[in-house]
Chains A and B, each alone.
Chain A
Amino acid sequence: MSDTEERVKKIVVEHLGVEADKVTMDASFIDDLGADSLDIVELVMAFEEEFGVEIPDDAAEKITTVGDAVRYIEEHKG
Chain B
Amino acid sequence: MRRVVVTGLGLVTPLGSDVETVWANILAGKSGAGPITHFDASEYKCRIACEVKPKDHEYGFDADKRVDTKVQRQVDPFIVFGIDAAGQAIEDAGLADMPEEMRLRAGCSIGSGIGGLPGIEKESLVLAEKGPGRVSPHFVHGRLINLISGQVSIKYGLMGPNHAVVTACSTGAHSIGDAARMIKDNDADIMLAGGAEATICPIGIAGFAQARALSTKFNDDPTRASRPYDVDRDGFVMGEGAGVVVLEEYEHAKARGAKIYAEVVGYGLSGDAYHVTAPHPEGSGAYRSMKMALAKAGVEPSEIDYINAHGTSTPLGDELELGAVRRLFGDAIATVSMSSTKSAIGHLLGGAGAVESIFCILALRDQIVPPTLNLDNPSESCADVDLVPHVAKKRKVKAVLNNSFGFGGTNASLVMKAVD
Interface residues of A (CB under 8 A from B): 15-17, 34, 38-39, 41-42, 45, 49
Contact = CB atoms under 8 A, between A and B. Distances in A.
Given A38-B137, A42-B138, A49-B134, 9 more contacts: A15-B70, A15-B73, A16-B70, A17-B69, A17-B73, A39-B70, A45-B133, A45-B136, A45-B137
Contact of A45 (B69, B73, B134): B134
B147 to A, nearest CB: 14
B386 interface: no
A17 B68 contact: yes
Interface residues of B, number: 9
A45 B130 CA distance: 12
Contacts of A15: 70, 73
A16 B134 CA distance: 18
A32 to B, nearest CB: 15
A49 to B, nearest CB: 8
Nearest to A44: B137
Contacts of A41: 137
Contacts of B137: 38, 41-42, 45
Q: Is the interface of A mostly helix, strand, loop or mixed?
A: helix
Contacts of A42: 136-138
A38 B136 CA distance: 9
A38 B68 CA distance: 16
Interface of B: 68-70, 73, 133-134, 136-138
B98 to A, nearest CB: 24
A38 B137 CA distance: 6
A38 B138 contact: yes
Chain A CB within 10 Å, residue with most, of B68, B136, B137, B138? B137
Contacts of A49: 134
Nearest to A34: B70
Contacts of A38: 137-138
Chain B CB within 10 Å, residue with most, of A34, A41, A45, A49? A45
Nearest to A45: B134
A42 B136 CA distance: 6
A69 to B, nearest CB: 16
B56 to A, nearest CB: 20
Nearest to A41: B137
Contacts of B133: 45
10 contacts: A15-B73, A16-B70, A17-B68, A17-B70, A17-B73, A38-B137, A41-B137, A42-B138, A45-B134, A45-B136
Contacts of A16: 70
Contacts of B73: 15, 17
Contacts of A45: 133-134, 136-137
B69 to A, nearest CB: 3
Nearest to A16: B70
B44 to A, nearest CB: 31
A41 B140 CA distance: 14
A38 B380 CA distance: 58
The 4 closest A-B pairs by CB, nearest first: A17-B69, A41-B137, A38-B137, A17-B70
Contacts of B134: 45, 49
Nearest to B69: A17
Contacts of B70: 15-17, 34, 39
A41 B136 CA distance: 8
A23 to B, nearest CB: 14
A41 B138 CA distance: 9
B312 to A, nearest CB: 38
A42 B138 CA distance: 8
A45 B74 CA distance: 14
A41 B74 CA distance: 13
A57 to B, nearest CB: 10
